[in-house]
Structure 1
């Protein structure tokens, strides 16, 4: 009987060990410990056991790290190389050895497409639409789950699009304007709700197909549709969520919007690349644009894209050359802002879009 009981106890212990995240600890305490492991090591955690892998890939892990301010933000850049092939790179800005790394597994059907949109919602990166020399605009959408490190095909756009704007507002993705197939409405936009995994199409005559840039400010989406060659007037419209309509944007606010834009703590910044590289700031109180500072021409390689993490702006240029500075503590010498930088790649990739994703 003692031998039988001993064998039973061993089986119970083995079963408990297999079921527990960490032997001898309740799962909530184990989660508290494991969730504090830096994101850079999450791939190693997934190799320990199936339970650890499932945990690291779960919504529970994602939401726990967010709730306890443990999430870390990485930057994803969609690029085009010299052979006109699309590729994606990722940067961990908190790493002691900061460098851009190639993200493998990009769907082969997107390699040669142009005019694709890129957006981040939750822990997923979405690649939307696009077209090619022998291919009309497509409605295809691909999704990269950053926790699983895996690309899959996602719900298709309701309208085929290329060269369009992408933004996130109220936990929905907006795909706005752009060029499409002959049957597509050029004055339309799609919204994607992940809770129902569906795109819904809307239409508004104020949207024009040729969209150059976009940003979200004060809970509204702004899109820039080009500039008049005669008057230098910037044509921009703004989406009002309360009415679900697009209206002409404030002329003063968009007057200096002639480059990539980013919003930090409700403040709009624009990178002017026409004569050198200048960062302009919109002052709501006085309703005017002011020069925030200039960036060294030795570090920036236009055309650049902007992305923000906290109060830091990352200026990502040709070849993924990257300049970083904090707008809250940016000093300057003779008007040039002090900054740090990340070396460019060996090849001169063109940067199409940059987005941030936190896990």
Structure 2
């Protein structure tokens, strides 16, 4: 899938069966927005758009009808920092209050089409990138080095998995998941690959490999991999 923007935002879909690109219609122009796939549909929400009359909005693309639907909800704020799909729901984190440490996060329930506040214990103090693999939520804590955390649903608490070597990661980092693995991508595209299948052993041993970074100090703003 490729998002290309000129005077309007146009989505193009690439079909592996026919090796061809197909236009998927016009989407509301947005920048700094979040994008996820749920139930075979693409969700584009939040962000800033020069032509958007309602910043508290999102669009849903249905490949069966090759069309977009516009929605609005005051729970959506433009300044979205992170998003994940877990347990059939979309979670978005909208940043931290300048006066308190409160993290504003909401969750979308597709059966009702309603956004509501996410559980406080899940998002409390979470200001770093997250990724969900097979229903398990991971967060990369960058408050002191880079430490991987995992959300335990049963006890409803964050558990540390382990630290990543400072020789391999160059914060600030972003997370992106592909299959059973996710990638920690930092400054200069320094990349560490983590196999989520090995995260559940008794010793919580981190099994990873690394990709050398480029000769660059550019920060990575966002990483996302989507397929429908």
Segments of structure 1 that go 5 or more residues without pairing to the other structure are 1-124, 131-137
| Corresponding residue for residue 174 of structure 1 | 43
Note the aligned Cα RMSD (angstroms).
Answer: 2.8
| Corresponding residue for residue 320 of structure 1 | 189
Q: 1:251 aligns with which of 120, 124, 129?
A: 120
8 Å CA contact 2:24, 2:67 repeated in 1: no
Structure having the higher strand fraction is 2
CA displacement at 1:239 relative to structure 2:
0.6
2:9 pairs with 1:156: no
> 1:146-225 maps to which residues of 2 (within 5 A)?
147=16, 154-157=24-27, 159-181=28-50, 183-225=52-94
Larger Rg belongs to: 1
Change (3 A) 1:183 1:261: closer
Whole-angstrom distance in 2 between the partners of 1:357 and 1:343: 24
Q: 2:3 aligns with which of 121, 127, 131?
A: 127
CA displacement at 1:336 relative to structure 2:
8.5
TM-score, with normalisation over the residues of structure 2?
0.87
CA displacement at 1:352 relative to structure 2:
3.5
Segments of structure 2 that go 5 or more residues without pairing to the other structure are none
Whole-angstrom distance in 2 between the partners of 1:289 and 1:215: 16
| Corresponding residue for residue 240 of structure 1 | 109
CA displacement at 1:146 relative to structure 2:
7.0
CA displacement at 1:318 relative to structure 2:
1.8
What is the total number of aligned residue pairs between the two structures? 226
| Corresponding residue for residue 172 of structure 2 | 303
The higher-RCO structure (CA 8 Å, 6+ apart) is 1
| Corresponding residue for residue 226 of structure 1 | 95
Change (3 A) 1:146 1:257: farther
Q: 2:135 aligns with which of 266, 277, 281?
A: 266
Structure having the higher helix fraction is 1
